[in-house]
Amino acid sequence: MKRNPFFSVISILILLAGLLAMPSQAWAASSTLLPVSYTTTSGSDGGQSFANLTIQDQAGSTKNPNNYVEFQTPGKSSYAGYRSYLVPDTILAASITAIQVKANLLGPKTSKQKWTWSIYNWSNSSWAALGTDSGASWSAWKLFTFNLTGKIAKYVSGTREIRIRLKSNNAADDADLDFESVTLTYTSGTVVPPTATFTASPPTATPPPGTCTHFVATNGNDANNGQTVGTPWKTVQKAAASATPGNVVCVRSGTYNEKVTISVSGTPGYPVTIQNYPGESPILDGIGISVPSADNGMVFIKDKAYIIFKGFEIRNYKTSTKNIVPVGIRITGTSHDIEIRNNKVHNIEHNGTTVNGTDAHGIAVHGTSGTTAITNIIIDGNQLYALKLGSSEALVINGNVDGWQITNNIVRDSNNIAIVAIGFEGTAPSNDQARNGVIRGNDVYNIDSNGNVAYGSERSADGIYVDGGTMIVIEQNKIHAADIGIEIASEHLGKASSYVTVRNNFVYNNLEAGISMGGYDSARGSAEHCVIVNNTFYKNASITGAWGSELYIQYDTRNNIIKNNIFYSKNNTPYILSWSTVMTNNVMDNNLFFNTGGAGGTWQWKNVTYTTFASYQSATGNDANGINYSDPLLVNAATGDLHIQTGSPAINTGQTIPEAGSWDIDGQPRVQGSIIDLGADENQ
């Protein structure tokens, strides 16, 4: 039966009149949130859109893989991953009195494999259990409900994010998740309920999320409607200017010789998705395309929101013109809720011959507003390689960017910094600092500035670099064959990189240094309140005549903690070089030192060199609980397998501290037994 529209309007007017007549008073309310993304930290997933989790459309024994997300436990790894939710600005975290999580799951019986839901506690960086999949089976979907009360505000981040994790206790099987939601119960205080606003609902014809609604093909026509495989558009730009919220534009294989400016936005729960047609690999090729003087992304997004761009190869965007900057994918302005996933970006090049003005980027996020930050950016599963960058970087977060993730990317074979978070460079007039970010699960290698026109023979390219950023976690990465593995510094005098946590990483065979911190000279800034814990450093400063060491401490370092690391150096290479006396309250303890020469190695602290572990301990007060000259028994360091074997002296000899996080480099529990292991791997 059709609804009487006249009756609906009268009812709304009566309701509004009643609301407006109410006195100011406290009132209870609820709001149901749907996930805006999901992130896998261990194991893998089926690659389906997070939007599959926003609609409960699986029941009984139904299994439509286009409508759910499969969480997988390949090999010996258990699965772990979380969904992110955003609390509306109208709800104060302090006013939330309860959280209810609902999830529709199909999976093995608990006796075979237990899956546990948890919520992230931002106040102490830990996960609090909500419940398990007791009663699950592969015979029918089951809707689980978990309730949480108490001090709820600690589960809401400063960027208004709630994280709900799902984790298996073994690798015996997989599980499918069809739907998940978070319902908040909150009080308004003593105010009148907010004025009602009416937003048009998505069209009833909107198909299930993740299925193609529009198509692009090289044999198409932009005069077509684009709505069927047989009537595709011809250009990706047509799609980027025409798509509406909820549309999923699938681009067929072929080469598209065009720049793309995405000039549309999605809405919460209904993003605009521009992606490869399933199983196919479209190419955006920049051959012959002139790089403009501004807004210079091969794919360009400015001041837009709720966009997913994935599955493309982007290549050959080049220039030799000084001060023109080619970029593979660029996000700028006040954009938010953007996902860049599973793209290949390569041969983005500046081929100029001058030292200055020869810059390029693979993927760049530039927050240029002083008042409105770019937020909720996910850059996941991409490959960046064969980039000629000048004095710039392969993947950069720069300026007023608050809340972002760089996860599971491969960045390799390029001639400057691979991944960087930057502050104080003048990108934004205020709030000019990348912050509240995570750099996780990336594989970075073959990063070398030697021969780069901007550097000559100097090797100073970082695998991962924080230059003036704050509140950033760098974890579960593998960095090898870069000039410097990881660096925490500020290039601007009087400014600092701060509150950066580096944990559970493998850093090995880097050319000049494993990890560096502090300004590179006395005209630079500082590294403050940073934590370097439970990393494994192996044979860094690997080239003959390297200027660095496993740990390279530079100018102006304050209140930093360095604990539970394995420093395994090659013979006659220093464990630590610390040439500056400008150091305040840096704490080192519980680290393990070993080198291929046996009882060798040196430690430099405040420009004084110590040739024995005992003299280093006595003079500096460092590493009172450290271990020296004891082989950590790495599984196969020559191939980059820095896991520890049974019997390693690193087992159960660390200091169990919350800064180490909940998971080791493989996503397995960070503490097995009562004491944490040293290094990035927790022996299982």
- DSSP-derived secondary structure for 294-315: SS-EEEEEES-EEEEEES-EEE
Residue 4: predicted pLDDT: 32
Beta strands in 199-263 (DSSP E): 214-216, 248-251, 254-256, 260-262
In the numeric block, which tokens belong to residue 277?
């047609």
Q: Do 114 and 237 lie in a common domain?
A: no
pLDDT in tens, 593-621: 999 876 678 999 999 999 999 999 999 99
351 pLDDT above the threshold of 90: yes
pLDDT mean over 56-60:
87
For residue 586, tell me if it sits in a domain.
no
Residue 612: predicted pLDDT: 93
Number of helices (H), then strands (E), belonging to the chain: the values are 3, 55
| Cα separation of the two ends of the chain | 61
Q: Do 223 and 97 lie in a common domain?
A: no
Q: Do 471 and 371 lie in a common domain?
A: yes
For residue 608, tell me if it sits in a domain.
no
Of 142, 170, 187, which residue constitutes the final position of a domain?
187
Are 338 and 363 within 8 A, CB to CB?
no
Q: What is the SS3 assignment for 259-287?
A: CEEECCCCECCECEEEEECCCCCEEEECC
Residue 417: predicted pLDDT: 98
φ/ψ bin of 7: left (φ > 0), alpha (ψ from -120 to 50), beta (otherwise): alpha
Residue 91: predicted pLDDT: 79
Q: Do 234 and 315 lie in a common domain?
A: yes
Phi–psi pair at 240, nearest 5 degrees: -70, -15
pLDDT mean over 549-560:
96
Residue 20: predicted pLDDT: 38
Q: Do 153 and 227 lie in a common domain?
A: no
Q: Do 148 and 242 lie in a common domain?
A: no
pLDDT in tens, 41-53: 888 888 888 778 9
pLDDT mean over 66-82:
85
**CATH assignment of the domain containing 225:** 2.160.20.10
For residue 673, tell me if it sits in a domain.
no
Query: Which one-letter DSSP state was computed for residue 429?
Result: S
Q: Do 293 and 144 lie in a common domain?
A: no
2 pLDDT above the threshold of 90: no
Q: Do 52 and 92 lie in a common domain?
A: yes
Residue 598: predicted pLDDT: 67
Residue 264: predicted pLDDT: 97
φ/ψ bin of 54: left (φ > 0), alpha (ψ from -120 to 50), beta (otherwise): alpha
pLDDT mean over 519-535:
93
526 pLDDT above the threshold of 80: yes
Of 170, 187, 204, which residue constitutes the final position of a domain?
187
141 pLDDT above the threshold of 80: yes
Cα 516 from Cα 658, distance rounded (Å) = 23
Q: Do 401 and 502 lie in a common domain?
A: yes
Q: How confident is the model at residue 15 (pLDDT cuts 50, 70, 90)?
A: very low
Domain that holds residue 233: 214-545+558-573
For residue 666, tell me if it sits in a domain.
no
pLDDT in tens, 435-484: 999 999 999 999 999 999 999 999 999 999 999 999 999 999 999 999 99
199 pLDDT above the threshold of 70: no
Residue 452: predicted pLDDT: 96
With CA atoms as reference, report the closest residue to 508 among 483, 484, 480, 534. 480
Phi–psi pair at 153, nearest 5 degrees: -55, -30
Mean pLDDT for the chain? 89
pLDDT mean over 216-245:
97
Q: Do 38 and 165 lie in a common domain?
A: yes
pLDDT mean over 69-95:
82
Residue 192: predicted pLDDT: 32
With CA atoms as reference, report the closest residue to 165 among 342, 42, 33. 42
Q: Do 133 and 255 lie in a common domain?
A: no
In the numeric block, which tokens belong to residue 487?
């660096």
Q: Do 335 and 378 lie in a common domain?
A: yes
For residue 654, tell me if it sits in a domain.
no
Residue 106: predicted pLDDT: 93
For residue 204, tell me if it sits in a domain.
no
pLDDT mean over 125-129:
89
pLDDT mean over 269-287:
96
User: What is the tally of structural domains in the chain?
Assistant: 2
For residue 201, tell me if it sits in a domain.
no
Query: Which one-letter DSSP state was computed for residue 240?
Result: H
For residue 644, tell me if it sits in a domain.
no
How many CA within 13 A on the CB side of residue 116? Answer: 12
pLDDT mean over 663-684:
93
pLDDT mean over 579-586:
93
Residue 9: predicted pLDDT: 34
**CATH assignment of the domain containing 85:** 2.60.120.430
